[in-house]
Amino acid sequence: MKPNHRYVFGVALVAAFAAVAGLSYWFGAHHTQPQRMDATQSDATKVDPASGRRVLYWHDPMVPGQKFDKPGKSPYMDMQLVPVYADEGGDATNVSVSARQVQSLGLRSVAVQRGSLPTGVTASGSVDWNERGLVVVQARNTGYVEKLFVRATLDRVAKGQPLVQLYVPDWVAVQEEYLALRQMDANRAQGDNLTSLLDGARARMRQAGMTEAMIAQVQRSGTVQARITMSAPVAGSVVELAVREGMTVAPGTTLYRINGLDSVWVNAELPESQAALVRQGSAVEARAAAYPDEVFKGRVQAVLPEVAAATRTLKVRVELANPGARLAPGMFVNLAFGGAAREALLLPSEALIRTGERSVVMLAEGEGKYRPVEVQTGQEANGQVEIRSGLEAGQKVVVSGQFLLDSEANLRGVGTRTQDAATQPASYATDAVFESLDGDMAMLSHPAIPALKWGAMTMGFGVPAGGWPKEIRPGSRVHVSFTLGKDGQPVLGTVTALAQSGGAK
């Protein structure tokens, strides 16, 4: 069968076009990469033909500190470079926002003002028993519980109110001895003296646990008193009832625990930053929801020397007068610790951006320009925070939408989030696969790095100070440690070859 010459010619032509196209793609991919700008090129400007806006440079948003002189694909990420226009962020000290963006973002600013800042502290606390008013009622002798007058815990008792009646067999013998001696003394012959024997009998009654009142009752009645009725030594509530009728009790057995309610404790927790504002003996006023029109007065009984690790709060114990025993353990009250107001530079607390190491605000400089400023804060009260340094009265600060501005400032390398020069940068480590080396940039494929919230990707790392190890070839598995430079670019510290058992996870 003869070949079709037209068909063969067509196939050859298609193959030639494909080869030319492939060669063109390879040439373009290898010879049109955007070049990093050096210090002398950083102020060069270009015009975007699509919008007519002036472009300062192009950059990778994931590595904002690295600037390029032309558009193209990022050498660090699989994405196109993003232009930075002169009219939206060219100033290295601030972020510019158009009027339309101000409205859409809901940016709102307030002026820093001088005002009166109360030095007092407010807190909530729970009412508890005043342990200093706890009284224990115990049996002094072996006896039998014949009758209970107070039969349930938390019952209120008055001072002197009967609690329990005990039958005490040990008292019978000593009382009969005393009564027999007294009868002998009454019938004694002239000149006999039984006074010393009567004194000894009375002493034995005291040793048996009888009170002077009971001994006097035996003397008056002339009969044996084998039962004792024990009364409440203080007014309060029964917090423990340990006996029932018919029980046998031994000396030292606890029968009742009674806690007075003429005063109560309130346990409150204060942030450790406010610990210096509260001192032992300071006056306190308390209000309870059950009695909104009444103020309970007291004092700080103790600032306990322990800080809760989970909440970083300090416990303060307050002792309150409790007229009428209206405050009951378990109630919540609002406490106001005394303190005179003082003048200070004030700012709404919501304006602060707390990074954990410092506090930052977004300063509005007018004409849509905003700049992050680090401030030193003091006491907070009533939604206001004291500004000790960093701002002046009359300056305007963003209180709504400041986190969006701060994110944009951080992305562009503007602001105060970079570490202090004296602070050592944080170090990170990961396993990776070495892909290629491009000048002073090593391309590595690494797994997710949770500490930096990075996903698995292939990106560029600055080579170590001593250069890239020559023995490590493309495709090798390595373990690397690195830090982030001020421009956000990761820079390798150490590179260690791993056993070649597989790729990066």
What mean pLDDT, rounded, does the chain reach? Answer: 79
Rg, Å, the chain Cα set: 44
Residue 92 confidence (pLDDT) = 52
81-117 pLDDT, tens digit per residue, is 877 776 654 455 567 666 776 777 778 888 898 888 7
Q: What is the pLDDT of residues 254-303, one digit of tens each?
A: 999 999 889 999 999 988 877 777 888 888 999 999 998 899 999 999 98
SS (H, E, C) 165-213: EEECCHHHHHHHHHHHHHHHHHCCCCCCCCHHHHHHHHHHHHHCCCCHH
Sign of CA dihedral 221, 201, 211, 224: negative
Mark 293-319 as b/e (b = at least 16 C-beta within 10 Å). Answer: eeebebebbebeeeeeeeeebbbbbbb
Name residue 430's beta-bridge partners. Answer: 480
Query: Residue 97 carries which side chain, given as an amino acid letter?
Result: V
Give 405-410's long-range contacts (Cβ < 8 A, gap of 24+). Answer: 405/95, 405/97, 405/107, 405/362, 405/370, 405/372, 406/353, 406/360, 406/362, 406/372, 408/89, 408/95, 409/94, 409/95, 409/362, 409/370, 409/371, 409/372
Rounded CA separation 414/372 (Å): 8
pLDDT over 70 (residue 21):
no
Tally of CB atoms within 10 A around 106: 9
Those residues whose C-beta lies under 8 Å from the C-beta of residue 450, and which sit 6 or more positions away, are none
Angstrom distances, CA of residue 67 to CA of 37, 46, 48, 235, 345: 6, 13, 16, 81, 40
- In the predicted model, what is the mean pLDDT of residues 397-417? 66
In tens, the pLDDT along 339-394 reads: 666 788 888 888 888 876 778 888 888 777 888 888 888 877 778 888 888 888 88
pLDDT greater than 70 at residue 9? no
Q: What is the pLDDT of residue 40?
A: 42
More confident: 468 or 499 = 468
pLDDT at residue 425, as a whole number: 65
Q: Tell me the per-residue pLDDT of 289-334, one tens digit each, with 9 for 90 and over.
A: 999 889 999 999 998 888 888 888 889 999 999 988 899 999 999 9
Q: Quick one: what percent of the chain has pLDDT higher than 70? A: 78
All domains of the chain in start order, with CATH: 5-96 (no CATH), 102-118+342-411 (2.40.420.20), 131-259 (2.40.50.100), 261-331 (2.40.30.170), 427-497 (2.40.50.320)
Distance, first Cα to last Cα, the chain: 56
DSSP symbol at 34: P
Q: What strands lie across the sheet with 162-167, from one edge to the other?
A: 227-231, 162-167, 143-148, 248-249
Q: What is the pLDDT of residue 266?
A: 95
Q: What is the pTM of this model?
A: 0.47
Q: How far is CA 407 from the centre of its chain?
A: 24
The alpha carbon of 36 is separated from its chain's Cα centroid by a whole number of angstroms, namely 45
Which has more confidence, 361 or 1?
Answer: 361
Angle 192-194-198 from CA coordinates, rounded to 5°: 170
pLDDT confidence of residue 367: 74
Residues whose CB is less than 8 angstroms from the CB of residue 3 and which lie 6 or more positions away in sequence, other chains included:
none
Question: Comparing 158 with 188, which gets the higher pLDDT?
Answer: 158
**According to the model, what pLDDT value does residue 238 have?**
95
